[in-house]
Chains A and B, each alone.
Chain A
Amino acid sequence: MTARGRSPAAPLAADPGGELEQAAERGDRFVLLVALDRDRALYLSFGAQGYVPFVAERSELPDAATLFPAAASYQAEAGELFGLPFPGRGADAGARAEVARGPAAGLGGASGQDRAPAPGEPPFQGDALVRVPFGPVRDGAVESLLHRFHYLGERILTLEQHLGFKHRGAEGCLTRATVQTLPVFAERVSGPNSVAFALAACQAVERAAEVAVPPRAETLRAILAELERVANHFRDIARIAAATTLRVGAAQGHALQEWTQRIGARLTGHRFLRGALAVGGLRSDIEVGGLADEAARAEADARAYFEALEATELFVDRLETTGALAAERARAWGAVGPVGRGSGLDGDVRKDAPYGAYRGLDFGVPRQQRGDALARFRVRCEEVLTSLYLVRELVGTLGEGSVCGEAPAAFPPDALMLGWAEGARGEVVAALATDAQGMLRRAALRGGSRHNWPLFPDTVTDSYLMDYAINEASWGLTVASHDR
């Protein structure tokens, strides 16, 4: 079973616990765990042999959280949505609330408590301790979530993270999708990552139904995916600049994002590049005349902008050491996207499990070792330049021909379809299951933000209140793709 081959079928594991242990021994990265229905769960990990999926029955669900810490929140979610009984802490862990606590020892024994505090409880009580709920309605035009802090002076002792306010039942509604409307739904699960989500979903079907996508369509898809990455990274960089109160720097980042979105609107008719992808290729051909020159110009503008930011001490100082995520922690979690690559990981499915036009493409995956906000900022800067270079390369290799492959009339029956794509916030995985009539029975779309959010509180605990906004901006995660 290779990453490049046919859709990895998901066998019902005879010994699911053993499979998990083998994955851990191989040093595989934990990808996801989703309930397929009330009786079965899908486990997916990624390693040297590509994606390794297996299915476990309700009666013998292994506790993946003991081997892979990231699995806990997936188990909680599967338990909440489908009533699957996971052993261990996954079963009763506060469903979508992750709690991180700072070391009480750092307080010099001020706690005066004998017992260990419960999750979410501060390590000690007192008048100086301030408890602030931040959300779900937060300052500015941002997405809804609740962060509840306990802090003492400037220091954050605990952070409770409550997600799920935006749970709109998107995956349930997705089961209404047909081959034709699948990308329409997928594009709207996480707005800023429209192309990556639609691409993962389309490629899942194409793999399972063995649809050949024309080379021109593959190249154009990659161009759109790179433009989406550039627009998202400009936006995240602008938000980091805004969090450090660098107003002009933020405005110029937003201006660059706007130009990128307008280029996309000219190509596809939509500022978020929606409506371009279809199962089998593209809905219609795209005229890319002049795009290479525009990408070259944008590259020069971006370079000058990044240099100006790097030369601003006030900006760099605020990012340095802020929200550091240790490399071991990131590796154990399987952190994806710029967050993982900022902590020394080199995961990028465009390289690790190449698809479409990325198969023959040579490019570097930027990474940084520091793990702090500065590292995540620098990863994004380098990725913007790489993506704009890729756009020029791809335009150069774009051949003539059709863009519409032969899409099947219906989904293959009784299938489990897996697809993936690298989005701006990391790997996007689509797991689609069909029934005997070829109707979607379960559709799970896991974006990079879904995987990384539960890890975020780790970097807030024991940090300083003034750093919180910068840290959150440097993670740049979307709530919509977590809550779905």
Chain B
Amino acid sequence: MFRWIARGIRVGKLTTRYPYSRPEREALGSPLAAIRPEGPRRDGAAAAAAACPTGAIAVDDEGLTLDLGRCVACGLCWALAPESFVAGRGYATAADSREGLRWRCAWDAPPRPPARRTRARAGPWRRSFHVRHVDAGSDGAVELELGQLDAPQYDLHRLGVFLTASPRHADALLVTGPVTAAMAPAVRTTFEAMPEPKLVLAAGSDAISGGLWAGSEVAAGGVDAVLPVDVYIPGSPPGPLALIDGLLLASGRRFPLLTEADATTDVAP
């Protein structure tokens, strides 16, 4: 046992300072499509919209809409229409409404990201926030990232956020996956077992919109179809910092950095 204590001390502190200071975006942000700072160009955008495997891009006469809730960051849009799209990264990406993930942008106009907070959060969760996770058909990657929140680099507990085993202890339900037919009853039962007040978070593009499995006959195509969702965390999968951001947004916790990045969804090249 002493060997491990000694090892722990030797390795030292690895934990990120986030959300007290800004982490390196390159290393830690989850990839998502972003619109170029100069704004989207009409040329090529239609081809990108047609190629997008999840239909995240809609093009019309005035401009385009990029739905981050559908984006799986496959990279086809920024490969096919590099004058409009770029590989984006962000950790302040969660939103409390589906609208908060839709980027509406006029042709050749600098993109204005959507407002990600539309409601005031006044829950009793400022100091401690307990979350029950339910996997409703994910690809398994979000579970790995949730597991990493326990890793020393993130150490979720320092923020007063805990993953809990019992729904009776849970303030929030975090659902991953498009909600398969077999898991829908389990998701509902877990939600019903939770005490009021309670929140629902949808993590990952498949939990938000079904993602690539949107047309499937055996999945609901998103948590929305089963439960009212309070916070959406986009990404395929959302990275650890994006998950932390979504959890803090849901709990209503305020940090200097969060308040600053609070207003709009933050995805940038």
B21 within 8 Å of A (CB atoms): no
B62 within 8 Å of A (CB atoms): no
Complex Cα spacing A258 to B135, Å: 22
Stretch at the interface among A17-25, A186-194, A336-344, A409-417: A186-194
Complex Cα spacing A275 to B88, Å: 13
Asked whether A141 and B143 contact (CB < 8 A) given A169-B213, A255-B153, A257-B148, the answer is yes
Tell me how far the C-beta of B129 lies from the nearest C-beta in chain A, rounded to whole angstroms: 15
Residues of B within 8 A of A483 (CB): 137, 180
Q: How many A-B residue pairs have CB under 8 A?
A: 184
Complex Cα spacing A259 to B87, Å: 22
- Once the chains bind, are A272 and B141 in contact (CB under 8 Å)? yes
Q: In this complex, what residue of B is CB-closest to A183?
A: B74
A132 within 8 Å of B (CB atoms): no
Contact of A192 (CB < 8 Å), options: B141, B183, B219? B141
Complex Cα spacing A404 to B104, Å: 34
- Once the chains bind, are A136 and B183 in contact (CB under 8 Å)? yes
Stretch at the interface among B1-9, B112-120, B253-261: B1-9
Residues of A within 8 A of B219 (CB): 168-169
B134 within 8 Å of A (CB atoms): yes
Residues of B within 8 A of A190 (CB): 139-140
A436 within 8 Å of B (CB atoms): no
A252 within 8 Å of B (CB atoms): yes
Contact of B148 (CB < 8 Å), options: A188, A191, A252, A254? A254
Contact with A along B152-180 (1 / 0, CB 8 A): 11000000000101000000000001101
- Once the chains bind, are B153 and A252 in contact (CB under 8 Å)? no
Interface size class of A (residues with CB under 8 A): 35 or more
- Once the chains bind, are B140 and A479 in contact (CB under 8 Å)? yes
- Once the chains bind, are B147 and A176 in contact (CB under 8 Å)? no
- Once the chains bind, are A270 and B73 in contact (CB under 8 Å)? yes
Complex Cα spacing A144 to B143, Å: 10
Residues of A within 8 A of B36 (CB): none
Residues A259-317 near B (CB distance < 8 A): 261-262, 265-266, 269-272, 274-275, 283-284, 308, 311-312, 314
Main secondary structure of the interface of B (DSSP, over half): mixed
Complex Cα spacing A139 to B134, Å: 10
Residues of B within 8 A of A101 (CB): none
Residues of A within 8 A of B147 (CB): 141, 235, 239, 254
Complex Cα spacing A355 to B210, Å: 34
A142 within 8 Å of B (CB atoms): yes
- Once the chains bind, are A172 and B186 in contact (CB under 8 Å)? no
Contact with B along A403-435 (1 / 0, CB 8 A): 000000000000000000000000000000000
Tell me how far the C-beta of A280 lies from the nearest C-beta in chain B, rounded to whole angstroms: 14
Q: In this complex, what residue of A is CB-closest to B155?
A: A251
Asked whether A191 and B141 contact (CB < 8 A) given A255-B152, A266-B27, the answer is yes
Residues of B within 8 A of A269 (CB): 31, 87, 89
Q: In this complex, what residue of A is CB-closest to B27?
A: A262
- Once the chains bind, are A192 and B144 in contact (CB under 8 Å)? yes
B122 within 8 Å of A (CB atoms): no
Asked whether A480 and B140 contact (CB < 8 A) given A168-B216, A255-B14, A266-B26, the answer is yes
Residues of A within 8 A of B135 (CB): 142-144, 166, 479
Complex Cα spacing A481 to B138, Å: 10
Asked whether A252 and B11 contact (CB < 8 A) given A168-B216, A235-B147, the answer is yes
Residues A124-174 near B (CB distance < 8 A): 136-137, 139-144, 164-170, 172-173
A457 within 8 Å of B (CB atoms): no
B35 within 8 Å of A (CB atoms): no
Tell me how far the C-beta of A198 lies from the nearest C-beta in chain B, rounded to whole angstroms: 11
Complex Cα spacing A188 to B79, Å: 19
Residues of A within 8 A of B211 (CB): 188
- Once the chains bind, are A143 and B138 in contact (CB under 8 Å)? yes
A49 within 8 Å of B (CB atoms): no
Complex Cα spacing A144 to B4, Å: 32
Complex Cα spacing A287 to B104, Å: 34
Residues of B within 8 A of A66 (CB): none
Contact with A along B76-94 (1 / 0, CB 8 A): 1001000000010100000
Residues of B within 8 A of A180 (CB): 51, 76
Contact of A246 (CB < 8 Å), options: B4, B177, B213, B217? B4
Residues of A within 8 A of B165 (CB): 139-140
Contact of B140 (CB < 8 Å), options: A239, A271, A274, A478? A478
Tell me how far the C-beta of A462 lies from the nearest C-beta in chain B, rounded to whole angstroms: 27
What 8 A-B pairs come out closest when comparing CB atoms?
Answer: A191-B141, A254-B151, A169-B216, A141-B146, A191-B139, A480-B140, A248-B4, A184-B74
B contact residues vs A (CB 8 Å cutoff): 1, 3-5, 7-8, 11, 14, 26-28, 30-31, 51, 53, 72-76, 79, 87, 89, 133-153, 163, 165, 177-178, 180-183, 186, 190, 206, 211-213, 215-219, 236-237, 239
Given contacts A143-B143, A265-B27, A284-B79, list 13 more A-B pairs with CB under 8 A.
Answer: A166-B135, A166-B183, A170-B216, A173-B216, A248-B5, A252-B11, A257-B151, A258-B148, A265-B26, A274-B74, A275-B31, A283-B79, A308-B3
Q: List 5 A-B contacts (CB under 8 A).
A: A136-B182, A137-B190, A235-B144, A239-B147, A272-B237
A contact residues vs B (CB 8 Å cutoff): 136-137, 139-144, 164-170, 172-173, 176-177, 180-181, 184-185, 188-192, 194, 235, 239, 246, 248-252, 254-255, 257-258, 261-262, 265-266, 269-272, 274-275, 283-284, 308, 311-312, 314, 478-481, 483
